[in-house]
Amino acid sequence: MRVLAGDIGGTKTWLGLFEDGRELREAALPSAEYDGLGEAVAEFLGGERVDAAAFGIAGPVQGRVVRTTNLPWVIDADALEAAHALGPVRLLNDFHALALGLDRLGEGARVVLQEGEVDPGGPVVVIGAGTGLGKAVIVPTGEAEPRVLSSEGGHRDFAPRDALDAELLTWLRAELGGRVSVERVVSGLGLASLYRFLVEEGHAEGALEAPDGAEIAAARETDLAARMALERFVSLYGAEAGNLALEVLAKGGLYVAGGIAPKLHDDLGEGFGVRFLEAFADKGRMRPLLEKTRVTLVTEPKVGLLGAARAAGATPG
């Protein structure tokens, strides 16, 4: 069975062609350069037919038509089937697809940050920052495919933990003209905002002009604002992961995915895990519970694509 899989994000559209679980080829396409998913699919396939397709999409997926959150795209499953000879098309949230890809990973594609205790029958949670902030809950069923509860929890309200967080919230409210979601802080754009906040509010000196996350990470040794922004970002990320683990009592563990965490782990080394885990467990009376939760960093960037391929293979013909 030949299937097309896609991991559709605000920055990158990753497409892959698979046959009987084996990857034939793939391409990472810059999303902003295409008017829609259909154009990217047509370029990638070049007229080749597939038996089924599945796409993990950043944004709420309800039904067969999806409006993406961080792209001006409307994705219509029926239109894709008709226009590109894809066979049955399945649309799912990008973190639903990512969750399905976790058990396709080898040991070299993950780093255990905290061993913890694992209940094989307990719920597993996934969180990942990239262009936005994704979350999902995995409920083991004993069947071939687990039940995945998709989430748009990245859009919940940002809650300050201390005086600096409170000042950041006030600054962001002025910048955005009102409500601030946690995704505005724990994401690539959030890291850039943190840097600007620290400089503009006089908390640290910084010489970078409108930097992105990679530029901030590269400047951490010489730019005080860059170092402080990275440290605060990792702490905020860990705190939000701890909130998610508490909300569903993640006895099966927590996975940290997305494009940012592996890069920060490479850049900061052990410092990443130390700061992340301290904020993760800093929940007052619930600290002992979170200190027993396994926390695993996913380092394989294609995990969402692998999950979408799995979903396509399960699509009924």
What's the CA gap between 289 and 53, in Å, rounded? 40
Size (the chain), residues: 317
Residue at a domain's end among 84, 101, 118: 101
- Percent of the chain having pLDDT more than 90? 89
303 part of a folded domain: no
Q: Is the pLDDT at 316 greater than 80, yes or no?
A: no
92 and 161 belong to one structural domain: no
**111 domain-assigned:** no
Q: Is the pLDDT of residue 168 over 70?
A: yes
Q: Which of 81, 101, 121 is the last residue of a domain?
A: 101
- Chain centroid offset of residue 29 CA: 18
Taking alpha carbons only, the member of 109, 150, 107 closest to residue 311 is 150
Q: Give a yes or no: residue 165 inside a domain.
A: yes
> Who has greater pLDDT, 153 or 59?
153
- On whether both 203 and 283 belong to a single domain, the answer is yes
pLDDT at residue 69, rounded to an integer: 80
Please state the rounded mean pLDDT for residues 98-127.
95
Q: Clarify whether residues 170 and 260 are in a common domain.
A: yes
pTM of the predicted model as reported, rounded to 2 decimal places: 0.93
How far apart are the C-alpha atoms of 277 and 44, rounded to whole Å? Answer: 41
Distance between the two ends of the chain, CA-based, in angstroms? 11
Judge whether residue 314 has pLDDT over 80: no
Could you tell me if 62 and 192 lie in one domain? no
Per mean pLDDT, which of 64-68, 100-104, 286-290 is the most reliable?
286-290
In a domain, 132, yes or no: no
Rounded CA separation 89/145 (Å): 18
- Within 10 angstroms of residue 177's Cβ, the number of other Cβ atoms is 7
Say if CB 237 and CB 194 are below 8 A apart. no
Residue 304 included in any domain: no
Give the integer Cα–Cα distance in Å for 237 and 260: 10
Do 62 and 176 fall within a single domain? no
Average pLDDT of the segment spanning 247-272: 96
> Does the residue 164 lie in any domain?
yes
**pLDDT number for residue 303:** 96
Q: In sequence order, what are the beta bridge partners of 200?
A: none
Q: Do 92 and 174 sit in the same domain of this protein?
A: no
Residue 307 domain-assigned (yes or no): no
- Considering 66, 101, 136, which residue would you say is the last residue of a domain? 101
- The three-class DSSP label of residue 100 is helix
Say what angle helices 260-268 and 224-248 make with each other, to 10 degrees: 130
pLDDT of 193 over the 80 cut: yes
Q: For residue 74, list its beta bridge partners.
A: 67
Q: Which amino acid is at 85?
A: A
Burial of 20 (0-12, 13-18, 19+ CB in 10 A): exposed
Element (H, E) at 127: strand 124-129
| Domain limits for position 267 | 154-298
Say how far apart CA 54 and CA 131 lie, in whole Å: 21
**How, if at all, do strands 147-150 and 253-257 pair?**
unpaired
Residue 228 lies inside a defined structural domain of this protein: yes
Structural contact between residues 208 and 220, judged by C-beta atoms closer than 8 angstroms? no
Q: Phi/psi at 254 (nearest 5 deg)?
A: -125, 135
pLDDT, averaged across the chain: 95
* Residue 73: predicted pLDDT: 94
| 11 shares its domain with 83 | yes
Q: Which two tokens stand for residue 274?
A: 């130390």
Burial label, 30 (beta-carbon count in 10 A; 0-12, 13-18, 19+):
exposed
Residue 317: predicted pLDDT: 40
| CATH number, position 196 | 3.40.367.20
Share of the chain above pLDDT 70, in %: 99
φ and ψ at 133, to 5 degrees?
-130, 115
The domain tally of the chain equals 2
Cβ atoms of 234 and 267 closer than 8 Å: no
Considering the domain architecture, whether residues 158 and 236 belong to the same structural domain is answered as yes
